[in-house]
Amino acid sequence: MTPNDLDLRWGLMVPELLVLLAGVLVLLVDTTVKAPDQDRRGIQTGISTLACLAAAGYTAVVLGSTSGTRTGFGELFVVDGLAVWFKSVVLLSAALASLMSERWLRNHRLTSGGFIALLLFSTAGMLYMVSAADLVMLFLGLEIMSIPLYVLAASERRNARAVEAGLKYLVLGSLATGFLLFGISLLYGFTGLMGQPSTCIADVVAAVLRSAPDVPALAVGGGILLFVGMVFKVGAVPFHMWTPDVYEGSPMSITAFMSVAVKATAFAAILRVFGGSGVLEALRLHDLLFALCALTMVVGNVAALAQSSVKRMLAWSSVAHAGYILLGVLAGTQDGLAAVLFYSLGYAAMNIAAFGVLVHLSEKGHEVERLDQLRGIATRVPLQAAILAVSMLSLMGMPPLVGFWGKLYIFRAVVFADFPGHIAIAVLGVLMSAVSAYYYLRVVVVSYMSDATAPAPAHRPSFGNGLATATAAALTVLIGLAPGAFLALARDSAESLRASSAAVAPAVDASTATAVAVSPQPPRR
């Protein structure tokens, strides 16, 4: 095979290569530059932020300028609207997370080389996973995303909670990866694709659709296992057990990054594999997903009610939000998919803003996590209190913030979708987001309407964290003010998904036609 057969379109892979190069550069700086830790932290987080922003800019401007699906590298790597959208979300979150990390690392007097490099590698894994046109690429992307995060979750090595977080994430994450891998092998085996010249996701999907509704039981099993592996990363109930502990024990910036970017990536992968029309039904996943959505929304919101730690509350709230986003996948309509894209971006903005404020308030040995630590911050740090209030209101779904529009689009798509029980689950979603008002508003009330009990620690504000928080908060408000433009963009991006499944569809029609013509008999092995 020569380079020409492989179709090496390097232009498509620029964001990944930029991020990887930045990671290697950070390692180089770490091993060669002789400077105080303080300066090195600045240099390394700077490199990381700039690289992620540059990659995000390239993705949005250059790759996003031409619509349509482009594949390259042996048809294993795809850049379409879906990839452009989720890559932008991931890269933006990575840039903001690196800005936030500087402060956390300084508080804990840690050097930043390994930390930032792992963050960048994880980001690169996410980018590869979002662009995967083949299940093998998808699996590798997932691993490259996850393994640095297992390590990063345990960054605070001396802290038992952090070690617990890392270990729990590693063990349960590996189990989920095992499910995913087993699912992939079953799908390949029972769709008869092994040894074929082309084994892309589109081929697997086409093979499944071709045999619907009589998909072999083990192919269905494979599809379910693959789905479970992905849903684990989203943190949907009952695959959420790791979420509160891992989010609580990890460094604040990594928690923000995980809750936002990992989720977005997993949703991109779910849409890539199961987003085509009829795939969920063919693999008999629709009812499962229905139950999953209902459970996730209920358990996430109810458990969040009982939390006294803000970090833990945000962890459970991220479970609840995963439930809302999954509703869009469940709807499966064009509107539903567009709403998933929109919500992923909006959730990234508001959640990073919330965590940014917590990072701002934290000092070494004085991590702000409990609710009562937020007492009276409105008088002490009015700007941060306002940002926290905005992000909480947005997470709750207060118009005109981005969270409101996200929920509106999701619920609207579900109401207009066509499956049994769609009204019921939409009502459940609305009810549950009414429940969530209690725990989100509690944060606002505590920070505005009660006096500080303990003297505040002296603050050394961080430029990076301030910038990240301000950016995220600005996005929360701006997208909320002009939701139409972003929804239109999301709709265009989701269009590519339908376009690619439409490209499969004629082939499906033709092959079912021949299958009908040829065989009343069952297909033979």
Is residue 312 within 8 Å of 161, Cβ to Cβ?
no
- Residue 111 lies near another protein (rule: CB under 8 A): yes
279-288: b (≥16 Cβ within 10 Å) or e: bbbbbbbbee
- Minimum distance from residue 424 beta carbon to another protein (Å): 31
Helix axes 217-234, 160-190, angle to 10 degrees: 160
- Minimum distance from residue 347 beta carbon to another protein (Å): 26
Of the pair 64, 125, the CB lying nearest another protein is at 125
What whole-number distance in Å separates Cα of residue 325 and Cα of residue 342? 10
Phi, psi of 524 (to 5 degrees): -100, 155
What are 77's strand-pairing partners?
72, 132
Of the pair 157, 453, the CB lying nearest another protein is at 157
Q: Which stretch binds another protein (CB under 8 A): 54-62, 253-261, 361-369, 381-389?
A: 361-369
Of the pair 166, 356, the CB lying nearest another protein is at 166
Of the pair 5, 451, the CB lying nearest another protein is at 5
CA-wise closest residue to 432 among 348, 317, 519, 330: 317
What whole-number distance in Å separates Cα of residue 222 and Cα of residue 215? 11
Residues 113-172 touching another protein, rule: CB under 8 A, are: 113-115, 117-118, 121-122, 124-125, 128, 134, 136-137, 140-141, 143-144, 147-148, 150-151, 154-160
| Among residues 18, 22, 76, 83, the one that binds another protein under rule CB under 8 A | 76
Of the pair 418, 525, the CB lying nearest another protein is at 525
Of the pair 121, 342, the CB lying nearest another protein is at 121
Of the pair 140, 302, the CB lying nearest another protein is at 140
Of the pair 175, 452, the CB lying nearest another protein is at 175
- Minimum distance from residue 416 beta carbon to another protein (Å): 33
- Residue 1 lies near another protein (rule: CB under 8 A): yes
Residues 209-268 touching another protein, rule: CB under 8 A, are: 210-211, 214-219
Of the pair 143, 335, the CB lying nearest another protein is at 143
- Minimum distance from residue 433 beta carbon to another protein (Å): 34
| Among residues 14, 27, 386, 398, the one that binds another protein under rule CB under 8 A | 27
Three-state SS string over 243-312 comes to HHHHHHHCCHHHHHHHHHHHHHHHHHHHHHHHCCCCHHHHCCCHHHHHHHHHHHHHHHHHHHHCCCEHHH
> How many residues of this chain interact with another protein, rule: CB under 8 A?
72
Is residue 122 within 8 Å of 148, Cβ to Cβ?
yes
- Minimum distance from residue 158 beta carbon to another protein (Å): 3
Q: Which stretch binds another protein (CB under 8 A): 82-90, 111-119, 293-301, 389-397?
A: 111-119
- Minimum distance from residue 122 beta carbon to another protein (Å): 8
Coil, helix or strand at residue 41? helix
Is residue 75 within 8 Å of 200, Cβ to Cβ?
yes
What whole-number distance in Å separates Cα of residue 7 and Cα of residue 5? 5
Residue 38 burial (CB count, 10 A): 11
Residue 391 burial (CB count, 10 A): 30
- Residue 34 lies near another protein (rule: CB under 8 A): no
148-173: b (≥16 Cβ within 10 Å) or e: bbbbbbbbbeeeeebebbbbbbbebb
Task: Give Cα 335 distance to the centre of its chain.
Answer: 19
- Residue 38 lies near another protein (rule: CB under 8 A): no
Contacts of 501 (CB under 8 A, 6+ apart): 202, 205, 275, 276, 277
Q: Scan for tokens 């082309």, then name that residue.
A: 198
- Minimum distance from residue 221 beta carbon to another protein (Å): 10
- Residue 357 lies near another protein (rule: CB under 8 A): no
Of the pair 45, 317, the CB lying nearest another protein is at 45
- Minimum distance from residue 387 beta carbon to another protein (Å): 25
- Minimum distance from residue 29 beta carbon to another protein (Å): 11
